[in-house]
Chain A
Amino acid sequence: MAETGDFNRRDRKSHPPAFTPGYKTSVLRAPRCALVSVEQGVGEKAGPIFVPRGGLDPLDNDLIRNFSQGGEAIGERIVVHGRVLDEYARPVPNTLIEVWQANAGGRYRHKNDSYLAPLDPNFGGTGRCLTNAEGRYFFRTIRPGPYPWRNDGSDWRPAHIHFSIFGEAFVQRLISQLYFEGDPLIPLCPIVNTIPDPAAVDRLVARLDMGQQMPFDALAYRFDIVLRGRRQTFFENKREGN
């Protein structure tokens, strides 16, 4: 029988608070009231299932080729791989991961990006994959370039890949960004610095993984993702009130 226990409460100390004046856009977009803590309902403990809707396109996790106009994307070729686990180190299988990123010059293929770096006609900058039974995932891409943005004058984003992940329940939903080991822009970034705990920032840094390189093709980076864990139920809770 499927586990029906509750998910652990989100440890907000691992996350950035809503109001982070160093990242100016948060100032008018941060709720001022405290979040209302509630118990999880059946809906929050369930979530969309993507597997039965059929497989993804075979090229969906190869960003070097999935939007090709005949050539391959320009840039340092890399593989990003890892495992999706919950807080109890249990693998999270069959869950959808979506990624999006700038090209090697730091430019996004998006209507609203007007950065002067050129678009790469062979690079769309997005991909998807499902984790396997052991919670493993991988995709191939090019290392994105840093790019400037208007915050405190011209700030620079470290190279990063945005990722979105579902888990098995709506309460595990997470969108975040992965960074690359050794990037000197990481500690300078106002968005990275919305996270108060340096140990938490470190969990967003992908590690160079020479052992998983694709020889004569691509370097590899390892990046594990941890989602909220579901507790086992030892005793049925007694019905309260009425």
Chain B
Amino acid sequence: MPVAYLKETPSQTAGPYVHIGTLPAVAGLPVRSQENLSVLASGSVPGERIRITGVVWDGAGHPVKDALLELWQADAAGRHDNPDFPGFGRAAADFATGAFSFETVKPGALPWRDGRTQAPHVCLLIFARGINIHLHTRMYFSDEAEANAADPMLKSIEHAGRRTTLVGERGTEDGVVTYRFDIHLQGENETVFFDV
């Protein structure tokens, strides 16, 4: 008999009321202290201020209006141990339009496991009704073409044409630098989701 280990607790969908537990104000509950909100950067945190916006689309082209997104990223110097910038945030899709947005700083490049460099990116998890186990993806930055071309994770996507599904498009909106990142759960432009 091989050595036996415990088994990971199985996942279940976060359901349509995920906001009650994760972003109570969105559900209509009173605000508590220390919520994990969609504004990651405030005050004097160094780095370029950016807004990441998008919509999660289902296979019929409808916005997923009950989606919850979680973002995890390094700071502008490519570090995950900055006490002034925890690097974690949550955003709910708008109940009417499905749009989500994060206010943060653009992360720096960070090392890959073998010493190579990873292009700047943010990790994203998607939870929603009908998603049985959360989806894990990454958003890279359209103005980092050279770094993206050398990124070990992007390069490990066999179908090169699908790599573009992970690149947020830089623009501006009311004077704020934005990156547009739509997530397609199915269809021609299905976003690459990772098993990490």
Residues of A within 8 A of B114 (CB): 237, 239-241
Q: Would A26 and B83 count as touching, CB distance under 8 A? A: no
B128 pairs with A29, CB closer than 8 A: yes
Task: Specify which chain A residues have a CB less than 8 angstroms from the CB of B8 in the assembled complex.
Answer: 10-11, 14-15, 87, 174, 226-228
In the assembled complex, how far is the CB of residue B140 from the closest CB belonging to chain A, in whole angstroms? 13
Considering the complex, give the chain B residue whose CB is closest to the CB of A228. B8
Instruction: Count contacts on B: residues with CB < 8 A to the other chain.
Output: 78
Q: Count CB-based A-B contacts (< 8 Å).
A: 247
Q: Whole-angstrom distance between the alpha carbons of A96 and B81 in the complex?
A: 18
- Count of A interface residues, CB-CB < 8 Å: 87
What's the least CB distance linking A220 to chain B, in Å? Answer: 19
Once A10-B8, A100-B17, A111-B95 are accepted as A-B contacts, the answer to whether A175 and B132 lie under 8 Å apart by CB is no
* A residues apposed to B, CB below 8 Å: 9-12, 14-18, 20, 23-33, 35-44, 46-49, 52-54, 56-57, 60, 67, 85-89, 98-100, 108-113, 124-126, 162-164, 170-171, 173-177, 191-192, 194-195, 200-201, 203-204, 225-229, 237, 239-242
27 contacts between A and B (CB under 8 A): A15-B132, A24-B130, A26-B131, A28-B130, A29-B131, A33-B162, A37-B195, A43-B73, A48-B72, A67-B29, A86-B6, A87-B6, A89-B5, A109-B20, A109-B29, A112-B66, A162-B12, A162-B15, A163-B21, A170-B123, A173-B125, A174-B8, A191-B13, A200-B7, A201-B10, A203-B7, A226-B8
Residues of B within 8 A of A (CB): 5-22, 24, 27-30, 32-34, 36, 58-60, 62, 64, 66, 70, 72-74, 80-81, 83, 86-88, 95, 110-116, 118, 123, 125, 127-135, 152-153, 156-158, 162, 185-186, 190-196
